[in-house]
Amino acid sequence: MTFAKTLTKVIGAATLLAGVVALSNLTARAEEEQPNPTRQQWTFAGAFGKYDKAQLQRGFKIYKEVCSNCHELHIPIRTLAQPGGPELSVDEVKALAASYTVKDGPNSSGEMFDRPGRPSDYFPAPFANPEAAAAALGSAPPDMSLLAKARKYERGFPAFVFDALPVPGGMYQELGPDYIYAILHGYEKDEDPNWNAYFPGHKIAMAKPLTDGQVDYTDGTPATLDQYAKDVASFLYWAAEPTLEDRKSLGVKVMIFLLVLSCLMYFTKRTIWSDVAH
């Protein structure tokens, strides 16, 4: 049994050592890098989350007036009228689409031609190709259609475990919008418009894009950077996840169904096994 005891001790010690080694540097590493974004309140978070239509419309206004000058948003214009989104009216979407000029063709004589946009068109890109964007701006701005799902930050152990669970403070799936919100707040040095507290390495190609009062809000919402950041991050999350409301509302029904089914299955199983010692 001495071998057994030694073996247990060796395994225990080695596992512990590996764990300690792995955890020791974590805090040190976090301090060297940029701070983590802080978690914001979003209407679309949680199991019953829904988008705030008015907020998405404001976010779209910011996209249209500011972001779209440099960023592509590769989604069809018609989606703005879909349920579970900004829900513009069909006429509004038609008028909006017509305000864009779209290259189409070739026509019967083989020529490309310009025509007014239709709701089924995608939002036109500000540059012909990423190379043109890079030539004009220094580096090509990312397409915004999936931006809110393509960004995250390291949560570390044990936070990442709770992010998946339905516990208080858990179910955290909005790292992308929080990152975008933080970036828009991260321009802290007036002398350097390309310095961002939250961007890895702090040097961001996008100079401070939004300031207080830049975009007019007509619904009485305060025209502040903080509000802009929230609204545009929400809009981008909708752009990346336009089926969120369908998904969550179906999910609640599915979970209720499965819970009831599990109970029925359990009692049926118990009855079937009741005359068997097991």
Partner 1 sequence: MHGLSTFEPKNGVVKWLEARLPILSFGYDSFVAYPTPKNLNYWWTFGAILSFMLIAQIVTGVVLTMHYTPEATMAFSSVEKIMRDVNWGWLMRYAHANGASMFFLAVYIHMFRGLYYGSYKNPREVLWILGVIIFLLMMATGFMGYVLPWGQMSFWGATVITNLFSAIPLVGDQVTVWLWGGYSVDNPTLNRFFALHYLLPFAIAAVVGLHVWALHVTGQNNPDGVDVQDIKKDCVPFTPHATMKDGLGVTVFLLLYCWFIFFTPNYLGDADNYIPANPMKTPPHIVPEWYFLPFYAILRSIPDKLMGVIAMFGAIAVLAFLPWLDTSKVRSAKYRPLYKKLFWGFVLVGIGLGYCGAMPAAEPYVTASRILSVLYFGFFAVLPILPKFERTLPVPATIAEAVLAKSESVKTAAAK
240 lies in the site for partner 1, by CB under 8 A:
yes
Is 206 labelled a binding residue?
yes
Q: Which of 106, 111, 157, 190 binds partner 1 (CB under 8 A)?
A: 157
For residues 7-16, one letter each, b for 16 or more C-beta atoms within 10 angstroms of the residue's C-beta and e for the rest, the string is eeeeeeeeee
109 lies in the site for partner 1, by CB under 8 A:
no
16 secondary structure, DSSP code: H
- Which pair of structure tokens corresponds to residue 246? 């369908």
Closer CB to partner 1, 143 or 226, in the complex: 143
Q: Residues touching partner 1: how many (CB under 8 A)?
A: 61
End-to-end CA distance of the chain: 34
254 lies in the site for partner 1, by CB under 8 A:
yes
Q: Which positions from 12 through 41 interact with partner 1, judged by CB under 8 A?
A: 12, 14-15, 17-19, 21-22, 24-25
| CA 176 and chain centroid, separation | 4
- Taking CB under 8 A as the binding criterion, the range among 31-39, 142-150, 180-188, 204-212 that sits at the site for partner 1 is 142-150
**Cα(254)–Cα(259) distance, rounded to whole angstroms?**
9
- The maximal CA–CA distance of the chain, rounded, in angstroms, is 92
CA distances from 74 to 68, 78, 222, 253 (A): 11, 12, 29, 32
Query: Which of 213, 162, 204 is closest to 179 using CA atoms?
Result: 204
Minimum distance from residue 12 beta carbon to partner 1 (Å): 8
* Residues annotated in a binding site: 67, 70-71, 206
User: Would you tell me which residues interact with partner 1 (CB under 8 A)?
Assistant: 1, 3-4, 7-8, 11-12, 14-15, 17-19, 21-22, 24-25, 47, 74-76, 79, 142, 145-146, 149-152, 157, 163-164, 166, 171, 173, 175-176, 200, 240, 242-243, 246-248, 250-252, 254-255, 258-259, 261-262, 265-266, 268-269, 272-273, 276-278
